[in-house]
Amino acid sequence: MQALLADLLTLLELERIEENIFRGESRDIGSKRVFGGQVLGQALSAASYTVEGREAHSLHAYFLRAGDVKAPIIFEVDRARDGSSFSSRRVVAIQHGRPIFNMAASFQKPEQGLDHQASMPDVPGPDDLMDLRELTGDRASSIPEGLRRFLTRERPFEMRPVEGVDLLSASPRDPVRHLWFKTVDRLPDNPDLHRNLLAYVADYQLLGTATLPHGIHWEQGNVQMASLDHAMWFHRPFRIDDWLLYSMVSPNASGARGLAFGRFFTAAGELVASTAQEGLIRIWDKC
């Protein structure tokens, strides 16, 4: 297995400290704080460790403070309720004695019911697109260093944007984005693992969709962006080592906040999960 993917799986395998208490490490992916998707995936891992015979179907989380990449994160799980069909869990992530994140998650015993879904967007398939790392091409030397490192670094996921990437300028466009992705290697047949990894990657580019109509990049140095909350709903079984389409849209930006929704489809067109996120977006005056 590719080293970065193996390391990501290790990152999501928390150490059990006590009953309902777990410890996780962090990885520096180039930002000044812990990547929000990491905390989200780890918190879902912690909650899943306390449930048997039921599958996560929803989570609702708030990011309270920036995480310190140099310090471990303690996850405390409250087994709020175990009913005949559903289990509820509350998770608090703690660093330096203070909560940095909290989450409520619900788990359900598998059962059958009504079935319908939204249609998959009509976009090119992954075979017709270039990987994010390849998009820089011969223009790598013209791209700002921070953006170049972000685009060209090795990842545990293959990522193929449908709309491409504005490498040298950010022209205003509709707040819609589509991204095909999958892990670079095959994974164990563990549905919890695939859901945890989807929670991890769901934080990638979602909030940034709200900036597209305004022609701005966080790399330009005067843009402050931070996740405030994140929700996810898991609808159907999936594998994250097969191609998934991440379809994102931002219906609103106001009050220094942006809102974005996302849907995940298999290559066969099945809607497997949905997500929503609101985040802080501030533009500072350049001196």
Domain ends where: 80, 109, 138?
Answer: 109
What value does the mean pLDDT take over residues 52-66?
Answer: 97
Give the residue among 129, 74, 121 at the shortest CA–CA distance from 97: 74
Selecting among 38, 87, 95, 277, the annotated active-site residue is 277
pLDDT digits (tens, 9 = 90+) for 98-126: 999 999 999 999 999 999 999 999 999 99
Residue 274 appears among annotated catalytic residues: no
Residues 141 and 250 in one domain: yes
Let me know: does 261 contact 275? Beta carbons within 8 Å.
yes
Tokens at 267, concatenated: 């290559």
Tokens at 222, concatenated: 């005067």
Exposed / middle / buried, residue 39 (Cβ in 10 Å: 0-12, 13-18, 19+): buried
Domain ends where: 109, 142, 174?
Answer: 109
Residues 147 and 218 in one domain: yes
Selecting among 87, 95, 106, 203, the annotated active-site residue is 203
Exposed / middle / buried, residue 142 (Cβ in 10 Å: 0-12, 13-18, 19+): exposed
Dist CA 75 CA 7 (whole Å): 19
Dist CA 261 CA 134 (whole Å): 27
The more confident residue out of 283 and 233 is 233
Residue 250 appears among annotated catalytic residues: no
> Which pLDDT does position 86 carry in this prediction?
98
Domain that holds residue 246: 128-287
Selecting among 227, 247, 250, 274, the annotated active-site residue is 227
pTM: 0.93
Dist CA 31 CA 27 (whole Å): 10
* Count of CB atoms situated within 10 Å of the CB of 91: 25
Predicted confidence (pLDDT) at residue 287 exceeds the cutoff of 60: no
Give the ranges where the chain is alpha helix by DSSP (H): 3-12, 36-48, 145-152, 191-202
Predicted confidence (pLDDT) at residue 132 exceeds the cutoff of 90: no
Provide the mean pLDDT of the chain.
91
> Which pLDDT does position 271 carry in this prediction?
98
Residue 189 appears among annotated catalytic residues: no
Does any domain span residue 165? yes
Let me know: does 197 contact 244? Beta carbons within 8 Å.
no
What value does the mean pLDDT take over residues 246-260?
Answer: 97
Cβ-based neighbours of 77, under 8 Å, separated by 6 or more: 20, 21, 22, 46, 47, 49, 50, 89, 90, 91
Residues 134 and 95 in one domain: no
Residues 140 and 282 in one domain: yes
Residues 172 and 32 in one domain: no
Q: What percent of the chain clears pLDDT 70, i.e. is strictly above it?
A: 89
At 152, the pLDDT band (50, 70, 90 cuts) reads low
Residues 105 and 135 in one domain: no
Residues 249 and 202 in one domain: yes
Domain count, the chain: 2
Looking up residue 17, the CATH number of its domain turns out to be: 3.10.129.10
